[in-house]
Structure formats: C-alpha cells, structure tokens
Amino acid sequence: MALAAVVESCIPRAPAVPGPAPGLGSPPPARTPLPPIPPAAGPLGITLTAPRAGQTLDVDSTFIFGTVGSGDAALTINGDAVPVAPNGAFLAYLAVPRGDAPLYELVATRAADTARLTLPLRRSTARVPLPLADALTIDSSSVSPRASAGAAQPLLRDDDPVRVSARVPANAAAWVRLDSAGREQRRVALIGDGESRAIELPARLMRRGGTLVVARGRDTLRMPLAPAAPADSALPIWVMLGGNDSVASGGGDGEGAAQNDTDRVVVGTPIPGGTYKWLLLPGTVLRQTGQSGGFVRVRLDEQLEVWVSADQTRRLPPGTIAPRRLIGSARLVPDSGWVDVVFPMSSRPPFLVEQYERSMVLTLYGTQANPPIIPYLGNDSLVRVIQWVPEATDRVRFTLELSRRPYGYLAFWDPAGRGFVLRLRRPPVIADRSRPLAGLTIVVDAGHPPGGAMGPTGLWEPVAALAVSERLRDMLRARGARVVMARTTPDAVALSPRSTVARRENAHALISIHLNAFGEGTNPFANNGTSTLFYHPQTEPLARLVQRGMIASMGLRDLGVHYQNIAIGRTSWMPALITEGLFLMVPEQEHAMRTPEGQEAYARGVAWGVEEYFRTMDRR
C-alpha cells in the first residue's frame, strides 16, 4: 500500500495566536521551534514499542512505531517503505494484515547489513461466518443474556428492560421462547435487518429465563438465556457507600475522621459503567434497588436512581431503618478564606453541585427542608442570596447567587456535628498585577506512574512529565509562587493522594503534566497536537489560557480544550486541569521531550497560562 500519510509532517503548525485584547494582560510566549533530531548511527536492530507481539487488534488500520537504531537505515514493513528519523525512530500507519495468522514483516537495511523482525498479531474482528446455506450456525459469543455457570444473576424490577440480542444468519428467523410456571409458553421475535437481532423485554417476562430459538427451514438451534431475579424484597436492602473503608472508627454516622481528610468519593452514573455525574460521600446510606454485573443501583430519592460500583457498597443488616434527612435552619458562616453553607441534618445526603456563571446550585436528594430563617452572618460579600425550592417531597434545590464566578468548593460531612457543609472558596486577592503569582500556592503534578505512554526510542511518559514539571516549578517560583510537587521521584503515586495533597496545601491551582497517546486505529499523522482537559466549570477559564500558552510556545496543532471525566479534574477546591502537550509516539515530539529546549517550551506555555489566569482573574 502507498504510505502517503507517513511522509506528512509530524509537527503540524497551529494558526497564529492572536494577541490579547487591549488592557487584558501580557502577550503569549514567543514560539520556540521544537529542536531538530540530530543524526545517530548506532547498531542496526529493530525494537518495537507498539504494537506488541500477539496483540489483538480490532481495527482496520493502526500505528506501528519503534526504532531501527540508526538514522541512516532504510525500513520496509510488509514491503512498504517507512521513513526513518535521523535518530533511527520510525512511525507508520498501516493496514492491519488479514488472514488466519496476520503479521508484520519488518526489514531494516544499511549498506550490507540487514535486520529482520516478524510481529505476529491477532484480529478480534474476525467474525464467526454465518453462511446462508448448509448447516445452520449462530455466533454463540454474541448471545445475551447468556446463561453461564458462576455468573452473577441480575436483580431487576418487573418493568426494568432486559435486552436479548444475538447474531444469526440473515435468512434465519430468531425468537425468544419465554418459560412459564405452567405449560403455556410465549414466543417473542427478535427484531433487526441482516445478522444483528435484538429485543428489549420487561424483566418480569424473564423471571424463569428463556430460550433463544433460531430456525431456518428444518434446522433449529436453541440456547438458554439467563433469568432475571426480582430486585424488590419484603425487607428493603440498605447499603452504605464506600465499601468497608467507609466504616472506619472515630467519626459518627459510619465514617471515621481519617476518611474526612481525603478527597475520596463514590462515583454515581446514569447507567452501569457510564459517564460519572454524582460524586457522593463515603458513608452515605441508600436503598439498593437493583444489580447488574459489577454495579449496584441505588435510589437517591423517589424520582431518581443511579448506578455505583458494587465494590464501593457495603450491605447493612436486615431491618436497617431508612435515614431521615430534615433541614431546619440552614446558615451561612463566613471565614477569611471561604464561606460555609451549613445544612444541619442527621445523615449524609446524596447530592449534586452545579456551577453557573455567577451562581452555584446544590440539589439534596432524599431530603426535606423547612428553613424558617437563613442568617447571613457577617454580611458576606461572596454569597449574596440563597434561594431554596422543594422540587419534590424528598428533593430540595438551593441556589446560591454569587458576586463572582465560582472558584472552588468542598462538599463534606462535618465530623464536629454541624451536618452537611458546602464550603465555597474565596478567590485570592491579587495585589500586584505585574507579579500575580506572588504568594500563591500552585501544585504541579507530573503525571503517572503507574502507566504512561512510551515513545519510539523508549522515552517513558512519567520521565518526560517529571522533567517538564521541574522546569515549570522553577518558572512559577521565579514568578513568586510557592510550588508543591505532587511527585518528585520515579515511584508510582496513586491519583487520589495527588488531589489530597493539593487540598491540604490549600493550593490555588493544580496543574497535571502529561504527554498524549492514541487509541488503536487512530491516524497519528492527522490527529496529533496539543490539548487541555478539565472537569469542573470553574477550571474552564484557566484551561483556555494554558492551552493558548502551549499553542503559542510549541506551535503544534490546536486540538482544543475538552471537558472530560478525569480523576485529577474532579478536584473541586481549586481549578485543576491536565495538559496533554504533545504525542510521545511522534519521533520529533518524543525527541523534543529529551531536550532542555523542548521541555522549556512546554513548561513556558503552561507557566504563561497560569500567570495570565491570575493576572486577569477579576476582569472576566
């Protein structure tokens, strides 16, 4: 095949970055070209970074990259010429070989020397053939819900949907035969064109399981389907979020003082394994209403149910009494660095915090409120007004009108007995616009390990991220900031402690430095560049300025600013983001991360964005 894509520039340039609006701040940093790759003439030999031998690929094309050890070598993969960088690195985007035993044949040559490497692969897209004639065959791996020994039985209510699906020959009929207590049987046809067929049935029809029946002419195949057990029981099932960790001793209502000094949450999603939306407190007691696979459905109030990971729940003893959450007099308690909105109640509530331009909305589920008075102690300047609306019998919405954009918050259960607290953070006062970072605390997090991307010549993302982070630390310190490093050694650091460090240090921003990588099947030549990720809306202004600084400094393609469900981004006490400065698999970009010039360019763009954010904070 022709490798036109391979000879494209691996360093696409971004459009010129416009200057700032008059009076808003400083110009972005001047672009520093990524340093060219110097020639290297080492021993000839092929080392692959990706894909791995025996790796299963379910895409039509994928990237393949590594090194041949010398920049003056030539390389072919399955007969196609692949460019080699001056240091011997290479990157190609090729069709995944077909056949029963797919493989890549790599041949590197230099003068009379030759090096060869054979890379065997597997293809998961090889579907079971379903011929239209001869013996009737179905794809048994596609059948769902398939009855199998040891599988957890789903717990579903009568009206919960159960999706029955299968892949069958296009000229065959498929239906579900539903079993019943008597001899009566019901037949429901699967719907669909071609080979893929499916139907959604209420769980009440699947209590005794069923049988998938596929027929064509005189041939018939049958396969048992898993039954759906009823979720409801005479005694309600109550669970405590947080698993066994949520019952440490030392703090009332099932959570110890140690748990209150973490940023640990239990993620709630609209569907099993879906995008997370609710960040719930460990120790919250909720009613379980269903189970599917490794997920448990819990009821937040009479109108809303969400799914949480089963290993983040602990079933409470039978006869547990439902928690009663009643708010009387909420109150506003100002402090020098924040404002507490205190909701006295006897049990942790499920909740949702939403941010808007000049307001925050707190929804408390499974909760009633009747506040006769909300005292505004100290006539606070951040929270102007609190309005509350009982949206349902057991759901209350509080709207906090603010005098400025939200900057940071904490939602926690007060071990001192005040109840549920929403703490709103005041933004820092910038006394000198020429040195806006003076006196501020910035946490710089060198992303990974564990995990991390790898470049063609073996540069590991955690190593490069630490090098950039150390330069960023020095730049921020030179601008007057106090900088705390979340990782200073090659040792692995879990995600949660990084956020906890930032909160304990009362940081004003958390910046996590990363290098990007593609998923299988993505063309690296057409899609590499620079991006910034955030989760909470309070971080969006900072993310845009950091992105602008990196684009100006490194000059790579602008992949934009993205809302994304990232663990570091869940940090709520300060703006928190992840930078993805470039793609480590691209030879030119990997080499840049080995050089002081490339590391400086990355760090300088981030430093400009952070400084500009605080310089212009009260002007947005």
Question: Quick one: average pLDDT of 495-509?
Answer: 94
8 Å CB contact between 543 and 530: no
User: Do 496 and 553 share a domain, yes or no?
Assistant: yes
Question: Quick one: average pLDDT of 230-253?
Answer: 66
- Domain at 391, CATH number: 2.60.40.3500
Boundary of a domain, candidates 230, 250, 275: 230
DSSP calls for 294-323: TEEEEEEETTEEEEEEGGGEEEPPTTPPPP
What confidence score (pLDDT) does residue 24 get? 58
Question: Quick one: average pLDDT of 77-98?
Answer: 96
What is the residue-averaged pLDDT of the chain? 89
Question: Quick one: average pLDDT of 329-337?
Answer: 90
pLDDT of 170 higher than 70: yes
Question: Quick one: average pLDDT of 306-313?
Answer: 96
Residue 526 lies in a domain: yes
DSSP 3-state assignment of 263? Answer: coil
- Domain at 291, CATH number: 2.30.30
What confidence score (pLDDT) does residue 157 get? 87
- Domain at 204, CATH number: 2.60.40
339: tokens are 């404002």
Residue 265 lies in a domain: yes
pLDDT of 609 higher than 60: yes
What confidence score (pLDDT) does residue 479 get? 97
What confidence score (pLDDT) does residue 146 get? 84
Q: How far, in Å, CA of 512 to CA of 542, rounded?
A: 13
Residue 302 lies in a domain: yes
Question: Quick one: average pLDDT of 268-281?
Answer: 92
Q: How far, in Å, CA of 326 to CA of 425, rounded?
A: 26
pLDDT of 249 higher than 50: no
220: tokens are 């018939």
Q: How far, in Å, CA of 291 to CA of 151, rounded?
A: 12
What confidence score (pLDDT) does residue 1 get? 38
Name the residue with tokens 């690929």: 57
Enumerate the H helices of 398-517 as residue ranges: 461-478, 495-504
Q: Estimate to the nearest angstrom the gap between the alpha carbon of 171 and the chain centroid.
A: 42
What confidence score (pLDDT) does residue 379 get? 60
What confidence score (pLDDT) does residue 257 get? 40
- Domain at 590, CATH number: 3.40.630.40
587: tokens are 């030879």
Between the alpha carbon of residue 61 and those of residues 64, 128, 524, the distances in Å are: 10, 21, 11
User: Do 253 and 393 share a domain, yes or no?
Assistant: no
What confidence score (pLDDT) does residue 229 get? 86
User: Do 365 and 307 share a domain, yes or no?
Assistant: no
User: Do 367 and 499 share a domain, yes or no?
Assistant: no
Q: How far, in Å, CA of 554 to CA of 373, rounded?
A: 55
Q: Which domain holds residue 353?
A: 326-425
User: Do 467 and 593 share a domain, yes or no?
Assistant: yes
Question: Quick one: average pLDDT of 93-105?
Answer: 90
CA dihedral over 303, 309, 312, 316, signed as positive or negative: positive
Angle among Cα 267, 268, 269 to the nearest 5 degrees reads 120
Q: How far, in Å, CA of 407 to CA of 130, rounded?
A: 58
Boundary of a domain, candidates 290, 315, 340: 315
What confidence score (pLDDT) does residue 240 get? 97
Residue 61 lies in a domain: no
What confidence score (pLDDT) does residue 271 get? 92
- The 10 Å Cβ neighbour count of residue 34 is 23
User: Do β-strands 196-202 and 229-230 pair in parallel, antiparallel, or remain unpaired?
Assistant: unpaired
User: Do 502 and 615 share a domain, yes or no?
Assistant: yes
Boundary of a domain, candidates 400, 425, 450: 425
Work out the pLDDT band at 122, boundaries 50, 70, 90: confident
pLDDT of 186 higher than 90: no
User: Do 496 and 388 share a domain, yes or no?
Assistant: no
Question: Quick one: average pLDDT of 179-201?
Answer: 83
8 Å CB contact between 214 and 136: yes
User: Do 293 and 344 share a domain, yes or no?
Assistant: no
| Total count of domains within the chain | 4
User: Do 221 and 274 share a domain, yes or no?
Assistant: no
pLDDT of 251 higher than 80: no
pLDDT tens profile 35-53: 999 999 999 999 999 999 9
> What is the b/e burial string over 311-321, where b = at least 16 CB atoms within 10 angstroms of the residue's CB?
ebbbebeeebe
User: Do 371 and 452 share a domain, yes or no?
Assistant: no
User: Do 336 and 367 share a domain, yes or no?
Assistant: yes
User: Do 402 and 460 share a domain, yes or no?
Assistant: no
